[in-house]
Chain A
Amino acid sequence: MSGDRRRLYAGSLVALVLLLLVPLGVQNGYYLEVLFRVFIFAALGLAWNLVGGYAGQLSLGHVAYFGVGAYAFTLLALDLGWNPWLGVAGGVAFSLLAALVIGSITFRLRGPYFTLATIATAEILRLLVLNLQDFTRGAIGISTPQLFPAAAGDRDFYLAAVLLAAVAYAFNLWADRSRFGYYLMAIREDEETAMAVGVNPARTKLLALLPSAVLTSLGGSLYASSFHFVQPDYVFSIDISNQAAIVAMLGGAGTALGPVLGSVILIIASELFKEVFQTAHLLIYGILIVVVVLFLPGGLIGLFGRRGRRPRAAALPAAARGEEGSPRHSSSSSM
């Protein structure tokens, strides 16, 4: 392990410990709630980043896994009497299933067709949940089971969000530095060439979608529980898909730190603007996207020197040929 990487891992660990200690100093419920949102959306952005950032597949349908997590957790606990945490695990299982089905359909398509197909699949799920009323209570929505005792709610939700974001961040570091990650970046840069050096794009993209869907599903369950309520137009809203993508793009898609940075800035900005005008968060998101695309295509991370894209892509052929000395995780070498 190079010194550079050791420093990165040590720094990340220190940051995680510090974040977990925050509730000792901050007990104000409102601040904890905002911080909870910061880390939930960091987790969602990091999850999206595996597919959208590293593999360059612009999914605008990630809310599918968010909503499946939220609903499965709620219904399993309420209707089947499962322990809520078991319900969360059930949500993960359903999201994996959804990812396998959605991924094998949508990853056959490219560019705008892929993006549209992801929106269409998420919309189909929203409409089904809305219409299968006997089963889902339809548009009325359902009160969610509680994951944490009410007294310590804010603190526990915050801690859970930080842990989820940390796991998602670890997955991004893995994508940043492993052979599997190089495959993803190869697909992003040029799918034909990636195929020519022996990457199976369909399978690789699907493999990236699985952890992405699991993390998004966990985020959905957690968020729904903190919100005390699920409703199809809310937990399957395209706004959530957009927000996950915006968080990553704003900070810097295809970097591990980017989505975290993006979430901190986006959530705090929308919190500040909420005081000024109540419904304007989408306007801010819209303007931010336009500004990022036109002036900061690499995201905010791009402002701090060009770490990230090019050198990684250039390192690809060596990694793809499996030469010695290329960074890898042994577990991922069986592609």
Chain B
Amino acid sequence: MVVLQTVLNGLLTGGLYALIGIGMALVFGVMRIVNFAHGALIMVGMYAAYFAFTLLGLSPYLGWLLSALLLFALGWLLYRGLIRPVMGQSDFMQILLTTGIWLALVDLAQLAFGADYRQINLALANAVVHLGPLTLSDGYLLSFAAAVLVIGLVYAFLYRTEIGRDVRAVAQNREVAPLMGIDVERVSAVAFALGAACAGAGGALLLPLFYLYPTVGDPLLLRSFVMVVLGGMGSVEGAALGGLVLGVAESLTGYFWTDSYSQVVDFLLFLAVLLVRPSGLLGRQRA
């Protein structure tokens, strides 16, 4: 029963990870850019939700919308100003560029807000519900539910709207899509901004559960890579599944071993997946 409880807790965290992972997968799938600034964008989303709560009294369970919009705009600007010039250049340059953005954003946060740990207190998030022998934290349940909602919205956007269809078309074939009259530039900007918006919403929904500080996104950056790799490159559904797997794996590691090793397990999982199917993964990357 304790194991079931552990798995359930892992799934709840995993839902939040999934939201962060699909943001990364959108950018990777459409633009073939590994966005090293993703963790920093999550951090910005958390600060946005934090100030929405402390200054405006807006609960993160609504504030995620504000964070998502803000990050959508930031993502759009970053794409237009900085990312677009390196599209088509080597991975090396793209990784360096997004690393530069990552460092700059983290340090800007440090300058603006200091290195203090912050946290919000939501009575709602601290309560628990009992389901037979299982106990679930309301905070995790609410964040999970909201994350599922956001994932559903992203999914509806991709499969129910014109521009969403264009995004999928570019993800499938960047060379042929323009021949079909798709504006690849615009679609790339949308995909990058949407990826950032997922990071923003994810950050906001993590706020009731995590401490907030400038480098809070760094481990989440690596986790999002793990999810994208686990789920298959550029697959949004795969990344969501990867998020759930990761959440459960971490939770079980914490139970059977200790929490401090859960990230070691993440990275070992990551290396194992990369190494077991290297040709498959690279093959899809080049396609």
Contact = CB atoms under 8 A, between A and B. Distances in A.
A293 B96 contact: yes
Interface string B256-271: 0010110110011011
A124 interface: yes
B107 A282 contact: yes
Nearest to B103: A286
B268 A289 contact: no
Interface in A112-129: 112-113, 115-117, 119-121, 123-124, 127-128
Interface string B157-195: 000000000000000000000000000000000000000
A297 interface: yes
Nearest to A288: B100
Contacts of B90: 56
Q: Is the interface of B mostly helix, strand, loop or mixed?
A: helix
Interface in B98-116: 99-108, 110-111, 115
B282 A127 contact: no
Interface string A156-186: 0000000000000000000000000000000
A116 B233 CA distance: 14
B164 to A, nearest CB: 25
Contacts, number: 124
A290 B264 contact: no
Interface string A273-292: 00001011111011111101
B104 A112 contact: no
Contacts of B95: 58, 60, 112, 115
B103 A285 contact: yes
A283 B271 contact: no
Interface in B241-287: 258, 260-261, 263-264, 267-268, 270-271, 274-275, 278, 281-282, 285
A-B pairs with the 9 shortest C-beta distances? A286-B104, A289-B100, A286-B103, A283-B107, A282-B107, A112-B34, A111-B91, A290-B100, A120-B267
27 contacts: A60-B95, A108-B278, A112-B91, A115-B91, A115-B95, A117-B271, A120-B270, A121-B267, A123-B263, A123-B267, A131-B258, A131-B261, A277-B111, A280-B107, A282-B106, A283-B104, A285-B100, A286-B102, A286-B103, A286-B105, A286-B106, A289-B96, A289-B97, A290-B82, A290-B101, A290-B104, A293-B96
Interface of A: 56, 58, 60, 105, 108-113, 115-117, 119-121, 123-124, 127-128, 130-131, 238, 242, 245, 249, 277, 279-283, 285-290, 292-294, 297
